[in-house]
Structure 1
Amino acid sequence: MISSQRLDLRPIVKYAALTFFAGRFLPALPREMGYCGTRSGRVVRSWLLEPLRDSNLELFSLVAVWIASKIHDRRPMSVKSLKALGDHIIADQHFMCRDFATAELVFLEVVDHSIGSSSIAFIYLEELLIHFREISKLGELLDLEVCMEILDILYETEDTSLLFNSPCSLAASTLVAAYDISVPKQTWEFPILPWVRFATSYDEEEIIKIVLTILLHVLKPDEIKEKDKGGFDARCLS
């Protein structure tokens, strides 16, 4: 998150990078030390992986941003700008420009060149929000920034990482959670859960479980108590 803030990344670049790094690269890293197995089971060997230091992980996170920028920006970020950022945030090791190029090749090998961006929660979320605004005026009360803040918190929370295995259901649940947070209860006239079920084909009960998980991580304890006083009931969203 530090790198995305300093570089002022567009949302699609930031969330593509997070997907590449947290959703595809990290799960492929080894449980055993000394090698890295790809998603297909091949072994990738590199001095950047043997051993896998925190500074190397920070390098790979910047590489994920670099790859996402190449895909989604008309003027992709230069390796020099990434190196300059790396010099600021990577304390334990000084990487050269050629190290970024090497790390990019290793990164692509580890994820088996799986850098498609169609299955990203942010893209699904944008599409759902646009559709919602087309059919209900309440959509204007939903701010994309609120939805993005929710996603950011979830990405920063290790025990919610499994939610990103299903980006579409995560997007739908994030929209519902943002609706619960942003839209005043007296205006809850739109059946948001049935609409989400129609738009995504996900079961309402499944969405409710994810929404409650999101709210528990996003809201502070006193805010949760306040919602309880207000009588939060998922059926109100139906």
Structure 2
Amino acid sequence: MPKKNSEINKRKLANHNRSRQKRRARGGRERERERMEAMATRSLRRRLVEFHLQASQHLQLRPIVKYTSLSFFLDRFMPSLQRGSIAEKMQGGNCKSWLLEHLRESNLQLFVLISIWVSSKIHDSQPLSVRSLKALSDKIISDQHFTSRDFSDAEFIFLEVIGYDIGTSKIAFRHLEDLFIQLRGLSKLGETIEMETCMDIMDLLYEEDTSSLFLASFDSLAASILVSAYLISVPKQQWEFPLLPWVKFVTSHEEQDIMRFVGCILSHVSKAEEFRPQN
């Protein structure tokens, strides 16, 4: 009898071990699937940012139009889509649309152009026309043809998804521009910083999906970009202006918090420089 119980216990232990191994294997596969999905999401985001930058260049957008539309698309539209509830609610209501039913990359590219259109209507005295945007879409969206009606429908969907949140007071570029002008007025060393450098940094942060930075307060992000541009542009021996105390004064953010963001920004800049092709 004891021998029989011992054999039963051994079989139970073996079954338990096999079950545990299966759970581990299943957990490993799930983690790998999640990792691959995250990589695919990051890859898609990067392609959409590159598409936006390409469209901005074609349309010769003013910086405030460009960065407002980037914020609308990446910080408001995409997170709402990923949560899914809004899109599902819309599809179940009276505003069903094939643009949301199958979210191909070309559909998302259309919504990028819509974000530019909305931003242009806010900031430009003569906003972009649907004709110019449609002509651009025919040129740079290769696997889908969109009609003027599609643009009108997509604009309605875009605004519904973001809850008509088109306020611009928290756009980081607006605050960056204000800080940039103030610094140039206070110190001649500010003249060594080019706004182009600040914008290159902001483009890079969007491309690299530094979500944690963009989730921070808009004015601390703006201040961190300006400090980073200062450190990149001004030779160390000329660091005379008390930049961090001034930034703390005008933004009310602690120097340590700003420098933490600056360190993150400079690491991305350094990484980008490493992989930049040599001429």
Same-fold call, TM cutoff 0.5: yes
Aligned to 1:211: 262
Aligned to 1:37: 86
1:77 aligns with 2:123: no
C-alpha distance 16-82 of structure 1, shift in aligned 2 (>3 A): same
Q: Which runs of 5+ in 2 are unaligned?
A: 1-52, 92-96, 275-279
Hey, what's the Cα distance between the residues in 2 that align with 1:127 and 1:43?
A: 39
1:149 aligns with 2:195: no
Q: Radius of gyration: which is bigger?
A: 2
Hey, what's the Cα distance between the residues in 2 that align with 1:134 and 1:6?
A: 33
Aligned to 1:232: none
Aligned to 2:245: 194
Q: How far did 1:222 drift? A: 7.0
The one-character-per-residue Cα deviations of 1:155-199 (angstroms, maximum 9, x if unpaired) are 1112x0231122211100000000000011111011111111111
- Do the aligned residues in 2 keep the contact of 1:13 with 1:68 (CA within 8 Å)? yes
- Do the aligned residues in 2 keep the contact of 1:174 with 1:211 (CA within 8 Å)? yes
TM-score when normalising by structure 1: 0.86
Corresponding residue to 2:171 among 120, 126, 144: 120
Q: Considering only aligned residues, what root-mean-square deviation do their CA atoms show, in Å?
A: 1.6
Aligned to 2:224: 173
Q: How far did 1:138 drift? A: 1.2
Corresponding residue to 2:77 among 16, 25, 33: 25
Give the aligned residue type for 1:44. M
- Do the aligned residues in 2 keep the contact of 1:153 with 1:218 (CA within 8 Å)? yes
Hey, what's the Cα distance between the residues in 2 that align with 1:7 and 1:221?
A: 26
1:103 aligns with 2:103: no
- Do the aligned residues in 2 keep the contact of 1:28 with 1:111 (CA within 8 Å)? yes
Aligned length: 216
Q: How far did 1:134 drift? A: 1.8
Hey, what's the Cα distance between the residues in 2 that align with 1:61 and 1:221?
A: 24
The one-character-per-residue Cα deviations of 1:33-82 (angstroms, maximum 9, x if unpaired) are xx5527xxx82223211121111100000000000111111111110110
Corresponding residue to 2:213 among 163, 175, 182: 163
Aligned to 1:231: none
Aligned to 1:229: none
C-alpha distance 83-126 of structure 1, shift in aligned 2 (>3 A): same
The one-character-per-residue Cα deviations of 1:6-30 (angstroms, maximum 9, x if unpaired) are 1110001001110110111011113
1:51 aligns with 2:117: no
TM-score when normalising by structure 2: 0.74
Give the aligned residue type for 2:176. L
- Do the aligned residues in 2 keep the contact of 1:108 with 1:114 (CA within 8 Å)? yes
C-alpha distance 212-49 of structure 1, shift in aligned 2 (>3 A): same
Q: Which moved more, 1:10-19 or 1:82-91?
A: 82-91
- Do the aligned residues in 2 keep the contact of 1:30 with 1:37 (CA within 8 Å)? no
- Do the aligned residues in 2 keep the contact of 1:36 with 1:110 (CA within 8 Å)? no
Q: Which runs of 5+ in 1 are unaligned?
A: 224-238
C-alpha distance 62-221 of structure 1, shift in aligned 2 (>3 A): closer
The one-character-per-residue Cα deviations of 1:190-211 (angstroms, maximum 9, x if unpaired) are 1111111111011111111110
Hey, what's the Cα distance between the residues in 2 that align with 1:83 and 1:212?
A: 41
Q: How far did 1:142 drift? A: 1.1
C-alpha distance 222-50 of structure 1, shift in aligned 2 (>3 A): closer
